[in-house]
Structure 1
Amino acid sequence: MVKPALYPPLATLAMHTPDQLPATLPRPDYLLSLANLAARLHGRHGVPPLQHALLDGLEEIETVILLLIDGMGEAQLAELAPDGWLAHQPRTRLHSVFPSTTTAAITTLLTGAAPSEHGLLSWHVWAPQAGCIATPLPLREHWRAEGEALPDQTLAAALYTQPSALAGGDRRHYVLQPEYIADSQYSRHHGGAAEALPWHGYDALFAQLAALARQPGRKFIYAYIPDLDSLMHHKGTRHPRAAQLLQRIDAHCAALAVTLPASARLLVTADHGQLDIPPEKLLFINDYPELAAMLARPLWGEPRVAFCTPRPECRDAFPASIEAALGHVLWVLKAEDVLAAQWFGPAPQHPQLAARAGDYVLLLKDDWGLLQMVDDSERPRLIGNHGGLSAAEMQIPLIVYQGTAG
């Protein structure tokens, strides 16, 4: 059964501008976002540093721990662990960045730069200087029109242009990530001068956090847990296993808290939230060959927000064509209007930002998704998704706990 639309239809238009979208739809807010938190943590001021009473005195704290639980939006915290330790700690609500996705958000946290500056906008990124649509986190080419794939080092140099913020100053820096991603080229570049401490299992992760917090000296510790996001992608945001997993992480956070000395402050947040897309509402533009044929290259971006560039001869006709076929599913926005609205963040801008945003931004409505397959592989069956502007995707908690142990 198809659910009724969350957003009433707007006047029939081939394209919309950002200010024509429903007022109830959250907009990226670069006063209360992960980018502002990153500016406060790293002393970079591309956006204003986050100001909140929970962060008072942060710069004087000896040990700052930033624990990022991938996918734990405000909605997931309320749904999956409403009675847990995390839900009952002092917290405020932030926005993710746009798109509300791991690639954009974690790069912001590790560089202190908004997506407009670092340029890694989404899971798939059009990188014209590399001649391909690339996938930055695992560092691979997703699609190439012609020619041979670039060597990894060359592709990395084209994608990873923003330096890490985890270097310099009077703090030592540590990065704790799962073993299977700790030594990736993405992790090495964005970890900067931080000491990498791979972890395997939550017991090891939280024991390491407790031990680091007791060590003397000023330090910043970034710890990353990807498991909730991964599970919800495959099982959905309301699956019992998702609740069990978040409650397990919650219990570890509670146990860590009682060990933290008064010289340590724990910040727990997320990169984004998620919403469920019913299987019948995850669409593929491959099933609309007349639309796919109008594109200069495949769609890139996320299931909840796609970027595209039509062929030159189709550029004028494309908005009306996709509106006619999929206007009930998405809004068509000019990329230049999205850039002007600073949805990716303010200046300074990455030199390839306009190219990476394409000509049009396709923003999915309600609980719809849109992808394009570039080969004959099996179509993904993603249930939990993110990248768009719904409250479930955009709103994330910032939980702050001040240590008290002697």
Structure 2
Amino acid sequence: MTGQDSVAVRGSGEPVELPAAPRYGSRSVGEVMTSAAAALGVPGFENALSLPAAQRFVVVLVDGLGSRLLSQVRGYAPTLRSAQSLGELDAAFPSTTSVSLSCLGTGRTPGRHGMLGYDVLDPDTDRVVNMLGNWPASLDPLAWQPGATVLERTAQHVDTVTVSSPRFESSALTRAVLRGGRFVGAQGVHARTARALEQLKEGRRGLVYFYWDDLDKTGHKQGWRSDAWLHALEELDSALKRLVTRLPANTRVVLTADHGMVDVALEGRIDVSAVPELMRGVRNTAGEPRAVQLHLEPGVSPEDVVGRWREHFGDAVWLATRDELVGSGHFGPDPEPAMLARAGDVWVLGREDIALYDVARQGTRPLAMVGQHGSLTEQERAVPALLW
């Protein structure tokens, strides 16, 4: 949808309280890989999730498998249903792949690793960069995120392997936050599962990171309530059964996700660039459709922008300035100023099932996406932690 009339004011325009920050350090996706490393006996890590000791761990990250989604379709996933639940975890903020994978891969919070969304402003060049692809050649992933990764640290002590699609081996995101150890690429669900099993050798301590992106791709294209999404879930469950029933002794599998998802109907997909009053004073937009970041022109008051967006959208969104998000802990404790410089001055977060686009910057193609995430609803932020 485009134009001023695409969404009416939904409420009084009064502020709506922002949900609490993710439980960084105790119950977030950032504690999964570090806890597995600690359970393997790798020094320097804390087992915040109290995982049992083992000789080998497989950490499975299923892109887009929110725990609230899974609870509604458990009948389609007997292997997932049979696992021991470690309770819900929180996705990172914003609840999107690049941010949560960076927390998983580095063990640090968003304010410390600086991967702050799908699209992120590079303040050195005033250029918006897609964190999942098409990084400019001048932007070095190791300079963008220079801290050692969990895989790098773990590889110094145990056999460390990533199993994923071959196209991710040299991606900028991998080099920034998931570098370290060996990379084993395989196409297709069963091939990847077979390759993961091949890495688990008796008598050898090891950590296997197993990334699964098929579910998320289907959800974005057709929605998580679609038959296609259920079919992708059944394929995932079948592959997991092959994995967990063929594990060598003293091997554990822990599964989590990077975010959940909400389906947004066509009438809820809104072009904010077609509303001049909203874009007044906005220099750049970044983020994602349910977690839009507004970078303002010098001298423009963030509070004034918040007021105008609140008047337009009412309680259909949560609105917060960067300083408010820092104060509430959404980027984690003690964020680094250099990393915060990448964050928008104002954040617009979907509370109802809407998605906001800057079509002038992004074009119309993203408007076709059904499944969305990035915001702070339980549907998007709650992810599972399962153990076999």
TM-score (norm 1): 0.84
> Which of 142, 145, 158 pairs up with 1:171?
158
Q: Distance in 1 between matches of 2:360 and 2:203?
A: 52
Q: In the TM superposition, what are the counterparts of 1:11-160 in structure 2 within 5 Å?
A: 12-13=13-14, 20-21=17-18, 25=19, 27-30=21-24, 31-42=26-37, 49-52=47-50, 55-57=51-53, 61-83=54-76, 84-91=78-85, 92-140=87-135, 151-160=136-145
Q: State, as a whole percentage, how many aligned pairs show the same letter.
A: 24
Q: In the TM superposition, what are the counterparts of 1:4-403 in structure 2 within 5 Å?
A: 12-13=13-14, 20-21=17-18, 25=19, 27-30=21-24, 31-42=26-37, 49-52=47-50, 55-57=51-53, 61-83=54-76, 84-91=78-85, 92-140=87-135, 151-168=136-153, 169-297=156-284, 299-315=285-301, 317-347=304-334, 349-375=335-361, 377-380=363-366, 381-401=368-388
Q: Distance in 2 between matches of 1:45 and 1:172?
A: 14
Confirm or deny: 8 A CA contact 2:30 2:105 kept in the other structure.
no
Q: Secondary structure at the match of 2:31?
A: helix
Q: Distance in 2 between matches of 1:231 and 1:196?
A: 25
Deviation at 1:396, TM superposition (A): 0.8
Deviation at 1:89, TM superposition (A): 1.2
Counterpart AA for 1:367 = D
Q: Which of 98-107 and 374-383 deviates more?
A: 374-383
Q: Which of 325-334 and 226-235 deviates more?
A: 325-334
Counterpart AA for 1:258 = T
Structure 1 residues 95-115: Cα deviation after superposition (integer angstroms, max 9, x where no partner): 111111100011111111111
Q: Which of 65-74 and 39-48 deviates more?
A: 39-48
Q: Distance in 1 between matches of 2:89 and 2:96?
A: 14
Deviation at 1:157, TM superposition (A): 4.7
Counterpart AA for 1:211 = E
Q: Which of 226-235 and 34-43 deviates more?
A: 34-43
Confirm or deny: 8 A CA contact 1:139 1:156 kept in the other structure.
no
CA, structure 1 residues 37+376, in 2 after alignment: closer, same or farther (shift >3 Å)? closer
CA, structure 1 residues 139+159, in 2 after alignment: closer, same or farther (shift >3 Å)? farther
TM-score (norm 2): 0.88
Unmatched 5+ stretches in structure 2: 1-9
Q: Secondary structure at the match of 2:95?
A: coil
Q: Distance in 1 between matches of 2:196 and 2:46?
A: 29
Confirm or deny: 8 A CA contact 1:28 1:343 kept in the other structure.
yes
Q: Which of 218-227 and 151-160 deviates more?
A: 151-160
Confirm or deny: 8 A CA contact 2:21 2:328 kept in the other structure.
no
CA, structure 1 residues 301+271, in 2 after alignment: closer, same or farther (shift >3 Å)? same
Counterpart AA for 2:22 = P
CA, structure 1 residues 279+48, in 2 after alignment: closer, same or farther (shift >3 Å)? farther
Q: Distance in 2 between matches of 1:72 and 1:311?
A: 37
Counterpart AA for 2:70 = L
Q: Distance in 2 between matches of 1:186 and 1:383?
A: 24
Q: Distance in 1 between matches of 2:179 and 2:96?
A: 22
Deviation at 1:220, TM superposition (A): 0.6
The match for 1:145 is none
